[in-house]
Amino acid sequence: MSQINPAPDIKYLYNIIGKEGKKNLKTEEFQKRKLMSIVKSIAIDDPMQALCEKASVEAYYNHYDMAVGTLKNVLKLTSNQSYFAWEKLLKIYIETADIETFIEKYRLALEQPLENTQKLDALFKYVLSTYLITDLYDDELLGLKLNKFEKYTVDKKRDMIQQLDISLPVYRKFMSIFYKEFYSQYIGRTRPIFCDETQDLIITMHTSIDFAQDLFDFNNHLQDVIMAWYSEANEEDQKQIEKVVIYIKHSSLIEQEGGIAA
């Protein structure tokens, strides 16, 4: 008589690694063992999905090298045809603020015969808009991904920071600090909003995190990281850093219109 394997508790898995809010990293040793047991059960019927879920678990616990390695293995085993692996891989590069690699891998994904790249395109547009990347406008493969309004929005933001004498490297450093710090501690959707009505650049990072204490704690943590950067920066960069204000808030708008959830 053959043994019937119980169905994997996928709901429990997603309730941990997919639930928006602060990551529970304190119980990693116990919790991760349980999650990997579920992943092992998934592998019985769907090995590729199991590997993708394994990568998601590793990313949740900030083991990004292991997550990336697992996803690259999925792509190798599927001849680069796993859409979920591409999507998760690109999101990891957003979480870790590795934008050069993001663009490289996005370009590679477009070269594959994928049926639909809509979600990947949305991630690409988000990266260009967030980091104000305009040198891809004339790219034969990537330039057509942005419409006129999207290009106008990016150009307007670049003009704004240039008028405030803030360099792109300093601005992008602010963005990379936010993403690295935020996604090392939280799961949630984010969207940067500019305010151009002052002499400073005010960036409000709208997020789907709605627990006030979490937002308060992260705002304080983010300022500590920025001040550590400021203390080591040269005089010119310090002048620019002083012109940028960044803070985090909950926004119901991002829940209605959507945002990037890594």
- Report pLDDT for 4: 56
- Report pLDDT for 196: 66
- Report pLDDT for 3: 55
Q: What are 210-230's pLDDT values in tens digits?
A: 888 888 999 999 999 999 999
Pairing label, strands 201-207, 189-195:
antiparallel
- Report pLDDT for 257: 43
Higher pLDDT, 260 or 244: 244
| pTM score | 0.91
Percent composition of the chain: helix, strand, coil (DSSP 3-state, to 5): 60, 10, 30
Residue 230 has which token pair? 């400021």
CA dist., res. 4 & res. 1, Å (int): 9
Higher pLDDT, 195 or 86: 86
* Residue 47 CB neighbours (<10 A): 12
Q: What are 40-63's pLDDT values in tens digits?
A: 999 999 999 999 999 999 999 999
- Report pLDDT for 191: 87
Residue 90 has which token pair? 């690109």
- Report pLDDT for 124: 96
In the DSSP assignment, the letter for residue 233 is: S
Side chain identity at 257, as an amino acid letter?
E
- Tell me the Cα Rg of the chain: 20
Sequence spans of domains, the chain:
165-262
CA dist., res. 204 & res. 227, Å (int): 18
Whole-number average pLDDT of the chain: 90
Give phi and psi for 212, each to the nearest 5: -60, -40
Cα dihedral 186, 188, 192, 198 sign: negative
Q: What are 22-34's pLDDT values in tens digits?
A: 999 988 888 999 9
- Report pLDDT for 5: 61
Least confident of 10-14, 66-70, 187-191, 253-257: 253-257
pLDDT band at 67 (very low <50, low <70, confident <90, very high): very high
Closest CA to 109 of 139, 81, 143: 81
